[in-house]
Amino acid sequence: MDSFPTKDLSPEISRALLDACAEGESLRIPDWLQAFFRDEPTPRPERPLTPEERIRGLATVWAEAKYNFAYWDRLPGEAWWDEQFQAYIPLVAGAASDEEYWRLMESFGNLLRDGHTLVLPPPWLTGQESEPPLRIIAVEGRPVVLEGEGLPPGTEILAVDGRPAEEVRREVAASLPLITDQYREWGTARRLLRGPAGTEVQVRVRLPDGSEQEVRLRRTGPLPPRPPLEVRDLGDGLFHVAVNTMFTDETWQAFDRRFPDFAGVRGLILDLRWNNGGNAQVGWQILGRLIERPTRAAAVRMRCYLPTYRAYGFSQRWLVAEPAVIEPRRDLPTFTGPVAVLSSPITGSAAEDFLVAFRESRRGPIVGGPSCGSTGQTLAVPLPGGGAFLVCTKRDTFPDGTPFVGYGIQPDIPAALTIAGLAAGRDEVLERAVEALRTWVG
């Protein structure tokens, strides 16, 4: 809500309240939410949602955001949110189909401009869409093939079904949370060719040799996800370690298996460019093997809503949680040589939590582009019709209070891919990190 300025409760009071509220509790993910993360088709409901059910879904999003969202100070305020709710009531009630209803619900959630606050359409609806087996990213501001089937790396997408690519990207942007400019640029490129599963899309491309041609691609499904951890020997004792996800303990366990004692390792490059998050503890297990002294993670603030204080007209109160401390691991040897971390606008959530702690540890540079600019703890609420609303309930900053949500974490050494480099099979970001570490290693 928009009762600002705000006041922080003292660390002592915050700690006591947090401990008291969490006593006897453990983290639980409800079964209904897990269905959104399983790659399983779900049947379409036998009947469409009624206008009353649609309005109830809209009201749920409005109310849960009003009392749980952590970033109201970045928006016009409570009265503005009420006005948006009023404006959307006739839109959702009169939607011509459930598909249109869920598009409206997504746009309503995106008004909050936060990557951890969004409406998830039901799995039966999202399962109707797919894309060709290509990974497309933004390179030099343009949608370019990184890897995949049918088109070589460095191929630029010029038009989709006869429409200029930039026009389609603007349309895609309307369905994305407006987190940061860099996320929008990469997110619209990644979703450029999405459409009804199994259909063909006509694409005009510029190939690496400069020629242009029309190709037809079938939306048979995205490329399979990368393994949790990939390791490549770069020579001279340098290793490229792609940490692709933090959604599974297999990531840090694979790191331990590959580097039980770091024998022969003179430098590490941890690549988080394709890591969009998971569980921060996964990354901290890896970081714990790279530090010799404790290091701090992000600082956290959470809303403390007291209805009686609101009646008194008091300011919004915040619980302030002291930054978690990541301890060096003692179960396996520690690597004390030089380390660099690669980042991109895809690097988000728990991967950004890793960047915060890595920078705080002063173990080495972050190389590449600015990160996504979105992390936090979501509260998940079911919606009529099988969808869900996720709302960010806490604010994360660097330990000294410097914000990065909504901005991204800036690299210490900026570096970017180029179209020519991709076409030539080069990775200029990795090359820049190798250059930095080889200078360090000597």
pLDDT digits (tens, 9 = 90+) for 388-408: 999 999 999 999 999 999 999
In this model, does residue 51 exceed pLDDT 80? yes
CATH numbers and ranges of domains, the chain: 31-224+377-391 (2.30.42.10), 229-373+408-437 (3.90.226.10)
* Residue 287 identity (one-letter amino acid): L
Residue 119, classed as helix, strand or coil, is strand
Predicted TM-score (pTM) of the model is 0.90
CB atoms within 10 A of CB 208: 19
DSSP E strand boundaries for 322-403: 325-326, 339-343, 366-368, 378-382, 388-392, 394-397
| Whether 404 contacts 356, CB under 8 Å | yes
What is the DSSP pairing of strand 238-243 with strand 229-235? antiparallel
Q: How far apart are CA 357 and CA 426, in angstroms?
A: 29
Q: Which two tokens stand for residue 309?
A: 């204080």
Place of tokens 């004792």: 237
Strand partners, 214: 204
Q: According to the model, what pLDDT value does residue 314 have?
A: 79
**Tokens 């210490």 correspond to what residue?**
412
CB distance 203 to 160 below 8 Å? yes
Quote the pLDDT of residue 21. 53
> Could you report the per-residue pLDDT of 98-126, keeping only the tens digit for each?
999 999 999 999 999 999 999 999 988 88
pLDDT on residue 360: 97
Interatomic CA distance for residues 438 and 294, integer angstroms: 27
Give pLDDT tens digits for 184-243. Answer: 999 999 999 999 999 999 999 999 999 999 999 999 999 999 999 999 999 999 999 999
> If residue 13 lies in a helix (H) or strand (E), which one and from where to where?
helix 11-22
pLDDT at 19 exceeding the cut of 80:
no
**Which pLDDT value is given to residue 5?**
44
CB atoms within 10 A of CB 9: 16
Which helix (H) or strand (E) is 217 found in, with range? strand 212-218
Amino acid type, 216: R
pLDDT score, position 4: 40
Residue 319's pLDDT band, with cuts at 50, 70 and 90, is: confident
Distance CA 80, CA 260 (A): 55
Q: What is the mean pLDDT of residues 82-90?
A: 98
